[in-house]
Structure 1
Amino acid sequence: MPRLQHLKIACTLLALAPLSLAKGVLPGQIKNFVTFGDSYTDIAYPAADGGQAWPVYAAGYGNFTLYPFAKSGATCSNNLTYRPFPPVFGSQIPTYLEEKSNATINPNPEETIYTLWIGTNDLGVNALLTGSDAPDVSIVQVRECAVDWLKVMYASGARNFIMQNIIPLDLTILYSNYSYPNRYWDAQRNTTEWNVYMRELAKAGNEITLLMLQALAPTLPDAHIASFDSHGLFTDMYNHPQNYLNGTAPLNVTGCVNSCIFALNESTGDAGDCTVAEGTDRDSFLWYDELHPSEQSDRIVAREITAVMKGEENQWVTWLS
């Protein structure tokens, strides 16, 4: 058989292959998205970035219907790293399943994508970095928990997923080597040690998660799983702010919009010595405060996630199935 005929047959078979064998979602397929996570994603917590959270922007950019379940302060599971806030497991997932069961929400699974951005509170102060209430818990368990979210959502009928990995937390002011006593931690610490340890936790956590997702993807028929490289995106924003920040003040990746310096061991209930950028100067900053991305950074996240949900090519995403 001539080689051209072989090529035609191969192309025909590829065209007839089930869509479930293709990687990623199709352009125009996604009309809804459901979000899980912490303050980075919680739309009801404007103090996280001083403005609108990225899912609100993404809903507008892509004309999507948003179903938000992320909660400020959340960890993946309070059984692993306890914090007195609604975790993904134990609160956010049960709330979603209850609303799905009673038909409060009923998005078509084929037209819906599910996102998870979690890990900041698991890795940080009062958790892995400083010692959690469960001393045997490691980065392995907390990232396995994040992957378990995907398994539970798949079992509930979800098929399209974006797993947003951990940002370079060592570049935030809280975990930098030049950090100061602030609203999140004003006790004594070795800032260099924290910076190095957090860099390793974030990088190791992301690699562990990716390996787990790569192993999981082939076992879930019809699933489309994206690994979104938040770490790479924020690293690029840090290194090349001129490509992302557009405020009227000098571009700034080492300070923040709302900076509050405290005396060592001062009560964080006090006001602190605060400096706050106003107006369009705010969009010159990568960080809103010592831990959270700025609203301009959130706009960038929204832009990139929207492209993924639209089925467009994007340098920050890897489709695993």
Structure 2
Amino acid sequence: MLSIIDIGSLTIALSLYIYAARARITDVVLFGDSYTAADGGVQWPWYLVGGAVCSNNLTPLYGEPDVSSGQQAWFIQDHIEAYNTSRQKLLLDPSSFVVVQFIGTNDVGIGSFLTADQAANVSLPDVADCQLNSLRMMHALGARKFILNSLIPLQLTGLYSNSSAPTIYYPQVHDGNAWNKGMYNLVHSLNRILSDGIDVLNAEWVGDGHVEWFNTYDLFETFYNNPALYFNGSIPANVTGHCHQCPDPNDYTKCGIGDCTLTERDSYMWWDELHPSEQTGRNLAAEIFRKIEGKSQY
């Protein structure tokens, strides 16, 4: 049986449980933001963290526990005995679990790099170093199997499309064309730095641990370009709109008016202007399971 140990918010956890029960890996440890626990239907009995970033010292957002300190502290609390002493012991078998890290959406988005609100003297390489160093910290705690997820094509979301219309996440008119081009550049730049950084980590550990790159970007492009293969609700597949509606971008209390129906939900790639749908989460979980098995092209 596969156990899900989610340190961030939960989105693919339940689906991973369903798809990975036969895998040799018995535990999956998830570090991340709301993309490890999207909205769009009940996907877990509770939610731990949404809006997380890699480090609040670099790209602070909402004050949620970040991956590099807050979420790792939870892992230490639950799974490390006698931490930081000569008797320190990992309570999990390193050969039986994989760490999945999926972070970065909030680091590059509104309130951060896209709107030039990151901390002073902070660059994309700093954010990449944060992600890589978080894996190093987990390695120091005894983890040996890792999957690092790339950022998705955020320019395909409603929030970062070329539309300048207000949204519930940014209820002001803005330059949608500039946002769309800027997000494309930010995502590709950070993904390239992270992909190159994986080679550095694997060279450092020389067989005593290994990081796999999961190309979430290409997978989501596949969903987008082949919608009928992945979205099967009661209406035609829809990869440009979203299920959850907020008709007044200045009033959260009106959110939900005009939502798609329960039978229509699985037709949508997106839950709202930023988050993937539950069906997208299922598809993602299935592919991550194939990655754990060594069978994924991504």
Report if TM-score (shorter chain) is over 0.5. yes
What TM-score do the two structures reach when normalised by structure 1?
0.78
Corresponding residue of 2:79 = 100
Answer whether contact 1:74 1:87 (CA < 8 A) is retained.
Answer: yes
Pair 1:294-2:277 in alignment: yes
Corresponding residue of 1:38 = 33
Answer whether contact 1:34 1:113 (CA < 8 A) is retained.
Answer: yes
Bigger Rg over Cα: 1
Pair 1:180-2:165 in alignment: yes
Pair 1:123-2:108 in alignment: yes
Corresponding residue of 2:209 = 223
Query: Secondary structure at 1:256's aligned position in 2?
Result: coil
> What is the total number of aligned residue pairs between the two structures?
269
**CA distance change for structure 1 residues 111 and 240 in 2, over 3 Å: closer, same or farther?**
same
Answer whether contact 1:71 1:85 (CA < 8 A) is retained.
Answer: yes
Q: Which has the higher relative contact order, 1 or 2, with Cα contacts under 8 A spaced 6 or more apart?
A: 1
Give the Cα–Cα distance (whole angstroms) in 2 for the partners of residues 135 and 219 of structure 1: 30
1:176-204 C-alpha deviation (Å, 9 max, x unpaired): 01353121101121000000000110111
Q: Comparing 117-126 with 209-218, which one deviates more in the overlay?
A: 209-218
Query: Secondary structure at 2:60's aligned position in 1?
Result: coil
**CA distance change for structure 1 residues 145 and 270 in 2, over 3 Å: closer, same or farther?**
same
Answer whether contact 1:37 1:118 (CA < 8 A) is retained.
Answer: yes
CA positional deviation for 1:251: 1.2
Segments of structure 1 that go 5 or more residues without pairing to the other structure are 1-26, 57-67, 317-321
Match among 48, 61, 67 for residue 88 of structure 1: 67
Give the Cα–Cα distance (whole angstroms) in 1 for the partners of residues 48 and 90 of structure 2: 16
Give the Cα–Cα distance (whole angstroms) in 2 for the partners of residues 105 and 70 of structure 1: 23
Corresponding residue of 1:281 = 264
What TM-score do the two structures reach when normalised by structure 2?
0.84
Q: Would you identify which runs of 4 or more consecutive aligned residues in structure 1 move more than 6 Å? A: none
**CA distance change for structure 1 residues 133 and 284 in 2, over 3 Å: closer, same or farther?**
same
1:30-69 aligned within 5 A: 30-42=25-37, 48-52=39-43
1:111-190 aligned within 5 A: 111-178=96-163, 180-190=165-175
Cα RMSD of the aligned pairs, angstroms, is 2.3
Corresponding residue of 1:73 = 51
Corresponding residue of 2:243 = 257
Q: Which amino acid aligns with 2:43?
A: Q
Corresponding residue of 1:14 = none
